[in-house]
Amino acid sequence: MELRTLGKTGLEVSRLGVGLSEIRSTDPSRVAEVLNAALDAGINFLDTSACYGNSEELVGRTVSHRRDEFVLATKAGHVTGGYQGESWDPKTVRDSIDRSLKRLRTDHLDIVQLHTCSVEVLERGEVIEVLQAAKQAGKTRAIGYSGDNEGALWAVESGLFDTLQTSFNLVDQNARLKLFEPAVAQAMGIIAKRPIANGAWGASSTPSSYAADYFERAQIMEAPGQIPEAPDHRILLALGFTLAHEAVDTAIVGTQNPEHMRTNIEWVENRLPIEDAAVAALHERFERLVGERNWRQLS
């Protein structure tokens, strides 16, 4: 599996990472199969959050004995899991970091990210100071922002964060147009979330309720006809598009299915890159539509 240096963090991460929202409430034996298949194949970037149900506990339970084999990222900020407090209060973020360390059964995190907070919260600066203090104390090696649109741009331009996790895929290319260049200029590592557009491209109906907006965009972008030189599988096209961009260090894909994980790995190792003509066609279609329809990043 190809590795990339994640910006100024110095962390070496696999181009394909694992998003861990989907494993919540999954049988631990199945989680162990998915995560061990990923680690065995050389995937070394795992991304979870305090608000992904019991995701952190499942990671700690199933693969903490392999801790030196992966880069571990989590997120903080929301009140979750029975915690009493206020979202985006410094104490909430501080306690969340300590709770994540226990749940994940580790003595350090590699990245702690603020999870989709507003520009107003960022401008107050208090929760950023909590992250900086955690980094200084050795609780995390790097700090990041996870989010889209105005919040993401503020985080990039502030120069205060080591990484940016943001939505990027073939039907949501705003990060390419507005965020990648300034983030690279700040030497930030870039983590692409939703890199396969929630499976919406080429689907006959919306894959899920939360994919409805992606499906609507996909239908509009697909209307002019087939993408030239596109690969023979719609998900391979979507994943290949995201990883065709040099600015993207790692793309996180979530699954509860070990076979899906193995397929994703095989595609990344043996069937990428996709053809430049396909990438260019998707650029052209998005750029033609984004201004007409005022498409923002889909959070």
d(CA 138, CA 126): 19
Residue 235 lies in a domain: no
> What is residue 5's predicted lDDT score, i.e. its pLDDT?
98
Residue 112: partners with Cβ closer than 8 Å, 6 or more residues away: 73, 74, 75, 76, 97, 100, 131, 134, 135, 139, 140, 142, 143, 144
For residue 206, being part of any structural domain is answered with no
Cα angle 218, 219, 221; round to 5? 60
Task: Give 61 or 81, the one with higher predicted confidence.
Answer: 61
pLDDT at 23: 87
Within a domain: 296: no
- Select which of 52, 83, 210, 214 is catalytic: 52
Domain contains 295? no
- Asked, for residue 205, whether it belongs to a domain, the answer is no
**Integer-rounded Cα radius of gyration of the chain:** 18
- The model carries a pTM of 0.96
Q: Cα separation of 19 and 28, whole Å?
A: 16
The mean per-residue pLDDT over the stretch 133-137 comes to 98
Q: What CA–CA distance (Å, rounded) separates 223 from 202? A: 11
Task: Look at residue 81 and tell me whether its pLDDT is greater than 90.
Answer: no
- What would the DSSP string read from start to end of 102-134? HHTT-S-EEEEEEES--HHHHHH-HHHHHHHHH
Please report whether residue 277 resides in a domain.
Answer: no
Phi-psi region of 113 (alpha: psi -120 to 50; beta: other; left: phi over 0): beta
Q: Please compute the mean of the pLDDT values over residues 15-23 and round it to a whole number.
A: 94
Q: Which amino acid is at 101?
A: L
Q: By C-alpha distance, which of 225, 162, 236, 153 is closest to 195?
A: 236
- For the four alpha carbons of 214, 16, 47 and 262, in that order, the dihedral sign comes to positive
pLDDT at 24: 87
- Per the CB < 8 A criterion, the answer to whether 124 and 156 are in contact is no
Question: What is the C-alpha to C-alpha distance for residues 76 and 61, in angstroms, rounded to an integer?
Answer: 20
Alpha helix (H) ranges present in the chain?
28-40, 55-63, 90-103, 119-124, 126-136, 149-158, 174-178, 180-185, 212-222, 234-243, 258-270, 276-293
Average pLDDT, the chain: 96
Provide the number of structural domains found in the chain. Answer: 1
Residue written as token pair 């100024």: 8
Residue 260 lies in a domain: yes
CATH of residue 176: 3.20.20.100
| pLDDT digits 0-9 by tens, 178-211 | 999 999 999 999 999 999 999 999 999 999 888 9
Is residue 43 one of the residues assigned to a domain?
A: yes
- How does pLDDT run across 245-298, given as a tens digit for each residue? 999 999 999 999 999 999 999 999 999 999 999 999 999 999 999 989 999 999
82 confidence band (pLDDT: 50, 70, 90): confident
- 145 as an active site residue: the answer is no
Range of the domain at 15: 3-198+243-272
